[in-house]
Copies of this chain bind each other. A is one copy, B any other.
Amino acid sequence: MTQSNSKQDLLTYTVRLGDDAIILGHRLSEWVSYGPFLEEDIALGNVSLDFIGHAQMYYTYAATLSNEVGDKKAEDDFAYLRDEREFQNHIIHELPRGDFAYSVVKQLLIDLYNKHYIEELKSSNDETLSAIAAKAAKEVTYHCRRSKEWTLRLGDGTEESHLKMQRALDDLWGYTHEIFEQDELELRLVAQGIAVDSASLKDKWFDDVKAIIEQATLKLPTSEWAVRGGRAGYHTENLGHLLTEMQFVHRSFPGAKW
């Protein structure tokens, strides 16, 4: 492989990590001042901003890389000027906010994934990705603690909260398979010690999820259905609606000098 193809791979990979973060950050921002109580409002807002901050780091790096491959883009171009098919986030990140239990379970599944993912990314041969991961790691630890606490509180809470949590878990399970799969591009980067070998994280993630789910008196889903396609740009209708909102202000003032 040539140097420039390899650089293009790295650019795509970096943008993907940014896409996961910004789409989830946007979703979480929908909770700001709609949380069940004030303290949680603020906490959810901060978590949302953590993810948008991670996206900013990835997109800033992607902007540098885009310059090196001769297709210069700015950080904001990635967030605001791409269409649905160009976003390569895993689908779980774009799913609607749902009720509070749904958001809690979604975060649990994602946060535990990020815990292992970010830990591995810290050892990436790419120094910038490694540095981003090091910065993000502390926040991810906090996210995991929050998600675990909420899962225990609601799963082992009232009959109603338990039912809502179980339903959310059953609904979300089919979206967790995709996050451990890799296409050829990511496999090439894994071989170079740059990308995380996410398939290798699945057992550890599963053990973590299982332990918390059982402690929360919930049952692991057994259904076999799985949704795929996010990394190839295939999305649910949710992403289109989200982008319409997220990109509206920026696109309304194309090239505006703020």
Tallying the copies of this chain within the complex gives 2
Q: Mark A51-67, 1 if CB is under 8 A from B, else 0.
A: 01101100100000000
* A33 at the B interface (CB under 8 A): yes
Bound-state Cα–Cα, A245 to B35, Å: 11
* A256 at the B interface (CB under 8 A): yes
- Of B53, B79, B157, B258, which one neighbours A153 at CB under 8 angstroms? B258
Knowing A154-B258, A257-B157 are in contact, say whether A33-B38 is a contact too (CB < 8 A).
Answer: no
Knowing A29-B45, A157-B258, A257-B158 are in contact, say whether A52-B38 is a contact too (CB < 8 A).
Answer: yes
Q: Is the CB of B26 within 8 A of A42?
A: no
- Interface of chain A, main secondary structure: helix
Q: List 13 A-B contacts (CB under 8 A).
A: A22-B38, A25-B33, A29-B32, A33-B48, A33-B246, A36-B249, A36-B250, A36-B258, A38-B56, A38-B76, A38-B79, A41-B52, A45-B45
